[in-house]
Chains A and B, each alone.
Chain A
Amino acid sequence: MEDWISIGYLLSAALFIFGLKKLGHPRTAPFGNQLGALGMLVAVLTTVVSMQLAGNAQWELIIAGIVVGSLIGYWMAVKVEMTGMPELVAMFNGFGGAASALVALSEIQKYISNADLIPEGLELTVTMIAAGLSALVGWMTLTGSLLAMYKLKGGIEVFGKWIRTPTWGPSWLNPVKVLLLLSVFVMIFLSIEEPTNQNYLWGIIGVSCLLGIVLVLPIGGADMPVVVSLLNSLSGIAAAFTGFIIGNSVLIIAGSLVGASGLILTFIMCKAMNRTLLDVLFKSFGGDGEKQALTRTKVGSDPDEVAMMLDGAQKVIIVPGYGMAVSQCQHAVKEFADLMKEKFDTEIKYAIHPVAGRMPGHMNVLLAEANVPYEQLIEMDEINSEFPECDVALVIGANDTTNPAARSGEGPLAGMPIIDADAARTVVIIKRSLSVGYAGVDNDLFYMDKTMMLFGDGKAMMAGLNTAVKEI
């Protein structure tokens, strides 16, 4: 490899390192993202120029691929609604894993079509192991991420019919996962002896795809972002293995960087939910069809009643959840906060659960969109001590993250840290019904005497509440 190519790749690797570092801090994160993009541009330009100088490039197809891919990626990124962000990240991630695995497959196909290209000795062993591992991780990432995407969406529409994505994971599935993994290792080992045997090739691909599905199938609810983060880490590892096949340093560096930092991020996210990675991967999260049947009822209130109760409140804590995202009522929430401040000089704060919504930081992004001041968004650990002195906790479309059952030490929610909304003097909950959340556990908070339920769509109810507050 010529020197300047190595220097180009070195520069791009350095940009990735600084980019990742800066992405971890709120103030520098946008700059970090730009550094990462710049690093990618340097790497692509270096490659393209070196190919042009080598003089054997087939540009038509390559340029077509670049243009088509860029347009699709950009279009999706711009069009996506804020609520659909987690699904999109999962899908992009799957594509990245698939790209790495396809490069590996393309390389092996060359050997099959032209036996002269097959390397010998050490190089053959390294190539086949790297190609096998790249295929394993890459295909697993693709199927796992696509399934994760549909799980985050909640279902898939086939011919106008809505089919719920299942969550299914009996305990006997765990040894099956291990067996599948071992069988891939055996096939990789065998493929070193017979690099052109297509049976091993397609066998590895098929089993890896299956492995991705059975890995994600039992996982649901608040664990979903953790799995997407883990798959993200895997797609980095796939890129690193592909780097070994084609002997390219920047693939190895960038891939293993993403693999390692993604794994750390996965652990950080697990910690925020008080769960271990093993629990996430091997213990099914609620939703096994064992949803508790609702036996209790609660009389709903109307916005006028709630507004009367809000009259003169000194401190209100708003607890947003996925329901706020779905009904897109963040602007109405902000209007409510402004009204309360204006009329009663109420102190307003927002309690943000680490996994409220469908991804970490989901609520922050939505409320930011509605121009809610950053300092009013308080993370769970800090705000929980403030609930006993707060007049009203207004829960908007949140369920599991406020469920006192999590403190009991039993059931699917056991041990998950929650927002102590039940400690407030009065609790107002806006929700469409009393139905259970993702974890399938009935929420005692709904039935407390001090709780007022506003049954209805978040947006409609917030609008009603705002009108009622104005009229006081």
Chain B
Amino acid sequence: MTPEFLIANITLFLLAIFLGFELITKVPATLHTPLMSGANAISGISIIGALIGSNVAYEGGSTALSGLLAFVAVVLAMINVVGGFAVTNRMLNMIAGKKRGGA
């Protein structure tokens, strides 16, 4: 890891934080929970790290332990991702479905 690469990553980190602050402004109370749950599904992005980790775990004679940890990480991250998006979708369909019927 070169210092340039680290600086680039820190830049990404800070810019994304600023963007995140700006992204959400006024949210009606109805959407608080779906928004929370949708954002939560996105935080399951660590699935990428888990996939790469479970792969690299077999290089260089690594132990079964680090492979096993990565496998558990894959399972948990997938539960987070699939369950999170599915449950958000269910909630939103209920809210939006009603709106169409009523308006």
Contacts and interface: CB of A to CB of B under 8 A. Distances in A.
B98 A371 contact: yes
A261 B35 CA distance: 10
Interface residues of A, number: 125
A95 B40 CA distance: 10
A116 interface: yes
A73 B36 contact: no
Given A36-B85, A80-B87, A110-B56, A92 B37 contact: yes
B83 A106 contact: no
A190 interface: no
A373 interface: yes
Interface stretch (A229-237, A279-287, A336-344, A422-430): A229-237
B96 A92 contact: no
A413 B1 CA distance: 53
A211 to B, nearest CB: 19
Contacts of A229: 32, 36
A365 B103 contact: no
B77 A257 contact: no
B38 to A, nearest CB: 5
Contacts of A93: 40, 43, 80
Contacts of A62: 51, 54-55, 71, 74
A351 interface: no
Residue with the highest number of chain B CB atoms closer than 10 Å, among A30, A243, A379: A30
Contact of B53 (A69, A107, A272): A107
Nearest to A58: B58
Contacts, number: 418
Nearest to A16: B42
B79 A73 contact: yes
Chain A binding surface, main DSSP class? helix
A132 to B, nearest CB: 16
Contact of B33 (A85, A248, A257): A85
Interface string B67-79: 1011111111111
- Interface range on chain B: under 10, 10 to 19, 20 to 34, or 35 or more? 35 or more
Interface stretch (A43-51, A161-169, A387-395): A43-51
Residue with the highest number of chain B CB atoms closer than 10 Å, among A110, A114, A264, A374: A110
A359 B56 CA distance: 41
A44 B38 contact: no
B79 A76 contact: yes
Interface in B9-42: 9, 12-14, 16-21, 23-42
A277 interface: no
Contacts of B43: 93, 96-97, 232, 235-236, 238-239, 254-255, 258, 262
A254 B82 contact: no
B89 A58 contact: no
A58 B14 CA distance: 35
B75 to A, nearest CB: 4
B60 to A, nearest CB: 5
Contact of B80 (A16, A92, A244): A92
Contacts of A88: 83, 87
A238 B76 CA distance: 14
A368 B95 contact: yes
Given A225-B33, A260-B20, A92 B99 contact: no
24 contacts: A26-B28, A44-B51, A58-B54, A69-B74, A69-B81, A88-B87, A89-B84, A99-B44, A102-B70, A109-B63, A110-B60, A116-B60, A232-B43, A239-B44, A240-B13, A260-B23, A261-B24, A263-B21, A269-B32, A359-B33, A360-B30, A360-B33, A362-B33, A371-B101
Interface of A: 16-17, 19-21, 23-27, 29-30, 32-34, 36-37, 39-40, 43-44, 47-48, 51, 56-58, 61-62, 64-66, 68-70, 72-74, 76-78, 80, 82, 85-86, 88-89, 92-93, 95-100, 102-103, 105-107, 109-110, 113-114, 116-117, 119, 122-123, 126-127, 225, 228-229, 232, 235-236, 238-240, 242-265, 268-269, 272, 352, 354, 359-362, 364-365, 367-369, 371-376, 379
Interface of B: 1, 3, 5-6, 9, 12-14, 16-21, 23-63, 65-67, 69-99, 101-103
Given A76-B83, A110-B62, A257-B23, 20 more contacts: A17-B19, A24-B27, A25-B31, A26-B28, A27-B96, A33-B34, A51-B51, A56-B58, A85-B33, A95-B76, A96-B43, A96-B77, A106-B54, A110-B66, A113-B65, A256-B12, A262-B36, A360-B30, A360-B33, A371-B102
